[in-house]
Amino acid sequence: MASGPAILVTAFEPFGPIRGHVPGLRGNRSRDILGQLTADNELANQLTFEVLPVSAAACTRLEDRLSEGPSGVLLMGEALLSSIRLEPRAYDPDAQIGPLRLPGARWRTSAFAKEIAADMAARGVSTASGIDTYYCNRAYWHALGWSERLNGRPAVFFHVGPRSNLEWQTSLVKEALVRMRRTVVASA
């Protein structure tokens, strides 16, 4: 990958009451992938990393990291029923009551997700929107707002499942990061 400002890659801490009580659900798969990326010496020097809490503080921490000026951002969260899913959009978190999204809620779309969707789908990645009203959506909403304010710096979100092959998921995330770096270099 070329030099330049680093791409920010985020994951979430473990969450939910079943963590630690169901075999195979002891951490957060997004954090597992983040660990794989930090161990890749060739790739890691082009990235910065952040593990976000599963709370309202996630958006504050994300905004702090985005203010440092990364060239792009790739966010990851865990979805128990997914293998890996590319999220095309985020919904306005102010247009929800508890876990329910209100009809007519605004959304923001990721131009970068649209750019890589066909290639990702060909590799087995779901591209059907499944983002919920949880902290994943809130963080993605903030990242897409950042992207809009900075004339389209790439931002994308992947949901990853805990029961899929970690190496396969990591290879797809790496592919997206390489594509993101190319997009950043081409637009510079």
Helix (H) or strand (E) holding 158: strand 155-160
Q: Are strands 47-52 and 7-12 parallel, antiparallel or unpaired?
A: parallel
> For 75-123, where are the alpha helices, taking DSSP H only?
111-122
Output the tens digit of pLDDT for each of the chain's 188 residues: 445 689 999 999 887 655 554 555 567 899 999 999 999 988 889 999 999 998 889 999 999 999 999 999 999 999 888 899 999 999 998 888 877 788 888 999 999 999 999 999 999 999 988 787 689 999 999 999 999 999 889 999 999 998 899 999 999 999 999 999 999 988 87
The token duo for 168 is 């396969």
CB 124 within 8 A of CB 83: yes
The pTM of the full predicted model, rounded to 2 decimals, is 0.91
Are 27 and 14 a contacting pair, CB within 8 Å? Answer: yes
**Which domains occur in the chain, in start order?**
7-187 (3.40.630.20)
